[in-house]
Amino acid sequence: MGTGVKHLLDFQGWTVEGIQGILETADVMKEVLERPVKKVPALQGITVCTAFFENSTRTRTSFELAARRMSADVLTFAAGASSLSKGESLRDTIETLNAYKVDAFIVRHHASGAAHQVAKFSGKSTINAGDGRRAHPTQALLDAYTMLKEFGKLEGLKVTIVGDILHSRVARSNAELLDLLGADVTLCGPATLLPKELQKGRVKLTNDMQAAVKDADVVMALRLQQERMNGGFLPSMSEYALTYQVNERLLELAKDHAIVLHPGPMNRDLEISGSLADSERSRIIAQVEYGQAIRMSVLYHLLVGKK
Amino acid sequence: MGTGVKHLLDFQGWTVEGIQGILETADVMKEVLERPVKKVPALQGITVCTAFFENSTRTRTSFELAARRMSADVLTFAAGASSLSKGESLRDTIETLNAYKVDAFIVRHHASGAAHQVAKFSGKSTINAGDGRRAHPTQALLDAYTMLKEFGKLEGLKVTIVGDILHSRVARSNAELLDLLGADVTLCGPATLLPKELQKGRVKLTNDMQAAVKDADVVMALRLQQERMNGGFLPSMSEYALTYQVNERLLELAKDHAIVLHPGPMNRDLEISGSLADSERSRIIAQVEYGQAIRMSVLYHLLVGKK
Amino acid sequence: MGTGVKHLLDFQGWTVEGIQGILETADVMKEVLERPVKKVPALQGITVCTAFFENSTRTRTSFELAARRMSADVLTFAAGASSLSKGESLRDTIETLNAYKVDAFIVRHHASGAAHQVAKFSGKSTINAGDGRRAHPTQALLDAYTMLKEFGKLEGLKVTIVGDILHSRVARSNAELLDLLGADVTLCGPATLLPKELQKGRVKLTNDMQAAVKDADVVMALRLQQERMNGGFLPSMSEYALTYQVNERLLELAKDHAIVLHPGPMNRDLEISGSLADSERSRIIAQVEYGQAIRMSVLYHLLVGKK
């Protein structure tokens, strides 16, 4: 076991086999999470540092719980609350944390590319937990895993991702991963929020919601970052919801077995209708559950055997 | 052992026997806390989530330490600092935390009834750590335990609770529990802050401090929430202190053996005189100590045997 | 082993032998930190409370990781985020935390002398992690340890400390410790920031940078607290940097083997030039590393054998 890869920053340099290894080990971890005692000793004595330069209790919590369930020690570094926000450079902060002798970093940062810098500065195994608009690979892995558990395979699935594609690291990482694994991806949103360079391989762009959702197996609604509204990128929220809300009426165009995903947290009745989120089509809670298994699996592949 | 009760939301549905079970196990936990190594393996492999939607370092800390001393893993979710405060519903937040496969919730929330909702949404054992003005049952249990350690029994004790009764979950939970256990409770405060519906069973209301404290065995001063001052509920602080401060002169009316309690944190020389808080009558530090034993006992009764 | 000393508040009451004991045990801990599994069972069952009334993620994190690597349980109490900041006295807060049955306190506070009060109020082993402008003894110990690892001895070393001496607990603790251990200390900064009372024993004061750094073995730049600028203590930052920045040109005056220290976090190109901080002379990362070993050693000396 083990992928031979040291970091998970994005999917550059990852092979289909490496990714399949992660998805297979996630099955083992999923089974661990169904036991009364949800703990394995794989990372005993290992210290994992969550370095979050952007506030995200949800993602940090998911990673820390996954690490602790592998018996790792966790060093929480939430930079928002820190004196290190007093003008210290990213490099100095990481070199300081590194000098505490941690074995791996899990990084979230508002700047695209920050996770690569952490990997370089620290020399330690680094997991990107979201950097700017660039990548959020464990989210894409848990999304792929959710589809796999539903349909048994990813090849040939039609996956439609709806929302502010331009600013979304979730959309970018999903497009990268799903293309690699053989799914057909349609990215859909207002024309101003569809970056042309994402159209390649099996990935298509459109601002036509009906066409995008037609015959889809999976429809993913992205969280609408309400702070974007001020940037002039989007009209009013109600106008956005009128055209781009993922809801039950829209889903009638998709395949009968189509499922709905959302990376959370949701703005109910904005980017997704509350009734659809609570319907039988929704796998939103499953995504969160599988996120634990995926993160445990990623930690396993990157860290076991490096002690 | 075990009460057969799944939640501690308030004392509805609890029997005197069930509560006595909690108080008896607290004796065992108190003894554990006197050992050099204050730890028992009872909750090994169990994950307890403290979901605090209202900031309270003190209460959260007390619960988390209690859980860790039972060898549980603790998932801290402090919503104040969280991105989940960005408009996510309570239900979505709880379902997300629940999907991380936690075994129990300890909830604090500014809305009355929130703990019941968490129990319903999660389906997991839930402890109410204070919801709105409704209930704070572990505080009432530790108060009752403090009285029990002092006087050997609760039946027939005269317990006087002084302050802003209207907004106090501590007063409500104490009234509910002490009435059940056979103590006579007097709730005393300004007339505008005495909700009529609390007058039932052994519970009396009065705005006459002298009558309330006369022959009392226990006098409890409630914390004055200074933000209430702005609501027009109370005159100036000094005027409040003049009439309703619990102090040594007032305690001369109580029984010779009378003790003084306060749920903390205190506003010294406002709702309680500093000298009384430091006097031999004070059991305020004992309350904090016993709070550890009570919370360990509650966790034991709700969770052991459910692994 | 064990120094027989209960607290580390400053170096009053410490002997050279006691300090040498700390420095020697740090060697053992340094070796533990080089192992794959960086953990020893020395403090199993012990609960250490970090009571930080002044925000310092860096220092708190270093202590907590050290404590957990000794297998202690850690109770984090960050008062900034706490409801206890609502006017509760230091004594009431400490007595409350103490009633949770913690075994030791690690305290940071904005008021000089606060750590002594915590030791008195709690009766428990107390480590001062920085109180006002008074003392920060573990910083001084890790600085001394860094010099010791470099030069094999401290006697006769010329150590120059540059910056805002007046407000610096790091300068005070270093002067106290280095004087005790036989090094010659020069404190250098603007005349208005050089408190006369520090001139005693082997400690000299000067505002002449060239003289201060000439033939130095060690040059330590203090962090410039930018908020001081407003107090009228200092001219503009660029003017300060012009005269008192520690940089490569200045270091030409020092001994060939001279090293540079900084307690962190750095304002690069303000109190220290970035290129010097990254040069071969810099031991700034080593300081952070050795900080782990020193803090583990201090915890060992104060707490082992007291269980």
- pLDDT tens for A201-236 read 999 999 999 999 999 999 999 999 876 666 677 778
Specify the DSSP element, H or E, that contains A158: strand A158-162
Percentage of chain C beyond pLDDT 70 is 93
Report CA dihedral (A78, A84, A87, A88) to the nearest 10 degrees.
-110
- Residue-wise DSSP of C191-254: GGG--GGG--TTEEEES-HHHHHTT-SEEEEPP--GGGGGGTSS--HHHHHHHH-B-HHHHTTS
Of A45, A77, A88, the CB nearest to C266: A88
Structural domains in chain C, CATH included, are 16-135+288-303 (3.40.50.1370), 137-287 (3.40.50.1370)
Alpha helices in B15-168 (DSSP H): 16-33, 57-69, 90-99, 114-122, 137-151
Q: Which chains touch B (3 or more CB pairs under 8 A)?
A: A, C
Contacts of residue B264 in chain C, CB cutoff 8 Å? 88, 92, 96
Is residue B131 within 8 A of residue B169, CB to CB? The reply is yes
Maximum C-alpha span of chain B: 55
How far is residue B91 from each of residues A167, B116, C103, C250, C301, measured CA to CA in Å?
27, 11, 39, 62, 49
Of C87, C95, C96, the CB nearest to B58: C96
Q: Is A31 exposed, middle or buried (0-12, 13-18, 19+ CB in 10 A)?
A: exposed
Ranges of residues in chain A whose predicted pLDDT is under 50: 1-2, 83-84, 307
Maximum C-alpha span of chain C: 55
Rounded distance between C-alpha atoms, residue C15 and residue C12, angstroms: 9
Residue C127, CB-side half-sphere exposure with 13 Å CA sphere: 26
Q: What is the pLDDT of residue C262?
A: 98
* Cβ-defined contact of A99 to C285 (cutoff 8 Å): yes
Contacts of residue B68 in chain C, CB cutoff 8 Å? 73
Q: What is the pLDDT of residue B2?
A: 45
> For residue range C111-125, what is the model confidence (pLDDT) as tens digits?
999 999 999 999 999
Rounded distance between C-alpha atoms, residue B29 and residue B27, angstroms: 5
CA distance C83 to chain B (A): 6
CA distance A211 to chain B (A): 30
Please state, rounded to an integer, the average pLDDT across all residues of chain C.
Answer: 93
Q: What is the pLDDT of residue C271?
A: 96
Residue C238, CB-side half-sphere exposure with 13 Å CA sphere: 0
Contacts of residue B286 in chain C, CB cutoff 8 Å? 99
Q: What is the pLDDT of residue A298?
A: 98
Rounded distance between C-alpha atoms, residue A125 and residue C13, angstroms: 45
* Closest B-chain CA to C83: B56
Residue C100, CB-side half-sphere exposure with 13 Å CA sphere: 30
> For residue range A228-253, what is the model confidence (pLDDT) as tens digits?
666 677 778 888 899 999 999 999 99
Residue C121 corresponds to which tokens in the numbers above?
């109020």
**Cβ atoms within 10 A of the Cβ of C204, count?**
17
Of C47, C92, C99, the CB nearest to B266: C92
Contacts of residue C84 in chain B, CB cutoff 8 Å? 57-58, 265
Q: Which residues contact A301 (CB under 8 A, 6 or more apart)?
A: A1, A2, A3, A5, A18, A21, A22, A25
Report CA dihedral (A49, A53, A57, A61) to the nearest 10 degrees.
-20
Maximum C-alpha span of chain A: 55
Query: Would you list which residues of chain C are within 8 Å, Cβ to Cβ, of chain B?
Result: 44-45, 47, 73, 75, 77-79, 81-84, 86-89, 92-93, 95-97, 99-101, 307
CA distance C139 to chain A (A): 15
Of B75, B83, B87, the CB nearest to A267: B87
Specify the DSSP element, H or E, that contains C121: helix C114-122
Nearest to C76 by CA among C47, C99, C46, C101: C47
Beta strands in C5-103 (DSSP E): 47-52, 73-78
> For residue range C162-176, what is the model confidence (pLDDT) as tens digits?
999 999 999 999 999
How confident is residue C238, by pLDDT bands cut at 50, 70 and 90? confident
Is residue C140 within 8 A of residue C103, CB to CB? The reply is no
Question: Residue C173: which region, alpha, beta or left (left: phi > 0; alpha: psi -120 to 50)?
Answer: alpha
A134 is in an annotated binding site: no
* Cβ-defined contact of A285 to B95 (cutoff 8 Å): yes
Q: What is the pLDDT of residue C307?
A: 41
* Cβ-defined contact of A92 to C268 (cutoff 8 Å): yes
Tell me which amino acid residue B54 is: E
- Residue-wise DSSP of C260-280: EE--S---BTTTB-HHHHTST
Beta strands in C21-103 (DSSP E): 47-52, 73-78
Alpha helices in chain A (DSSP H): 16-33, 57-69, 90-99, 114-122, 137-151, 169-181, 209-213, 237-244, 248-251, 274-277, 284-303
Q: What is the pLDDT of residue B88?
A: 83
Residue B283, CB-side half-sphere exposure with 13 Å CA sphere: 22
Instruction: Work out the average pLDDT over C151-155.
Output: 98
Three-state DSSP state, C286 = helix
Q: Write the ipTM.
A: 0.92
Rounded distance between C-alpha atoms, residue B114 and residue B117, angstroms: 5
Q: What is the pLDDT of residue A270?
A: 94
Contacts of residue B265 in chain C, CB cutoff 8 Å? 83-84, 86-88, 92-93, 96
CA distance C82 to chain B (A): 5
Three-state DSSP state, C8 = strand
Q: What is the pLDDT of residue B234?
A: 73
Of A45, A84, A95, the CB nearest to C57: A84
Encode chain B (307 residues) as per-residue pLDDT tens digits.
Answer: 445 689 999 999 999 999 999 999 999 999 999 999 999 999 998 999 999 998 888 999 999 999 999 999 999 998 765 544 567 889 999 999 999 999 999 999 999 999 999 999 999 999 999 999 999 999 999 999 999 999 999 999 999 999 999 999 999 999 999 999 999 999 999 999 999 999 999 999 999 999 999 999 999 999 998 766 666 777 788 888 999 999 999 999 999 999 999 999 999 999 999 999 999 999 999 999 999 999 999 999 999 965 4
A281 is in an annotated binding site: no
Residue C241, CB-side half-sphere exposure with 13 Å CA sphere: 13
Q: What is the pLDDT of residue A88?
A: 82
CA distance A163 to chain B (A): 18
